[in-house]
Amino acid sequence: MVQQDRIWEASLVTAINEEFDQLKYLIEDSSGSTEKGDIQAQISRLCGLTDLSHNQSIPFSPTIRLQLQELNEIAMGMVRSNIQVAPPSEEHLQNFEHEAAQALFDAIALNFHFLAQAELSKHAIALSKEAFDSLKSYLGSHPEFDMLERLVLVQDYRVMKLAGDKR
């Protein structure tokens, strides 16, 4: 009866092995029809299953838990050794920097009330000259940038570093 109760574990291991074989096929496919997204999706499926071994609330037998963890390590080893990660494109980097500048702008704008009443609220913000120049290059034409510019202390990074943490 105990053996019958563990059929679900064997079924899970079989499903994981099938997903593992599919990942191996996609990595080794030289036809050109496999896209990076296909491999990433397969990795997600496989890891979603093998990561179940880390969930202590699922009553795996110790043997099966160890087997799932070993399959996960084998799959990750294949991924690390066979997938070439291309460096990000210049356009991707520009988009990332723009998003970071927008997030910084939004954070300052959301704290406008506190920054405008710095003497009462004891809130302040200082940016290095380089960070501010980056912010300005992406969002300097924003209609509220002039207002934001008055709320931010801009300093040379070396001066900020010398000032240190004065808590």
| Residue 42 pLDDT grade (very low, low, confident, very high; cuts 50, 70, 90) | confident
Q: List, for residues 99-158, the tens digit of each pLDDT value.
A: 998 998 998 888 888 888 878 877 888 888 898 999 999 999 999 899 888 888 888 878
pLDDT for 103: 92
| 41, pLDDT greater than 70 | yes
pLDDT for 23: 87
| 18, pLDDT greater than 90 | yes
Residue with tokens 């990076």, as numbered in its chain: 36
> How far apart are the C-alpha atoms of 34 and 85, rounded to whole Å?
15
Judge whether 97 and 134 are in contact, CB under 8 Å: yes
Sequence ranges of the domains in the chain: 2-82, 90-163
Long-range contacts of 40-43 (CB under 8 A, 24+ apart): 43/75, 43/79
Please, what is the Cα angle at 17 between 4 and 22, to 5 degrees?
145
**Highest mean pLDDT pick, 21-25, 31-35, 74-78, 84-88:** 21-25
Least confident of 25-29, 47-51, 78-82, 137-141: 78-82
pLDDT for 166: 64
| 167, pLDDT greater than 60 | no
**What average pLDDT does range 63-82 have in this prediction?**
80
pLDDT for 29: 83
**What average pLDDT does range 17-35 have in this prediction?**
87
How confident is the prediction for the chain on average, in pLDDT? 83
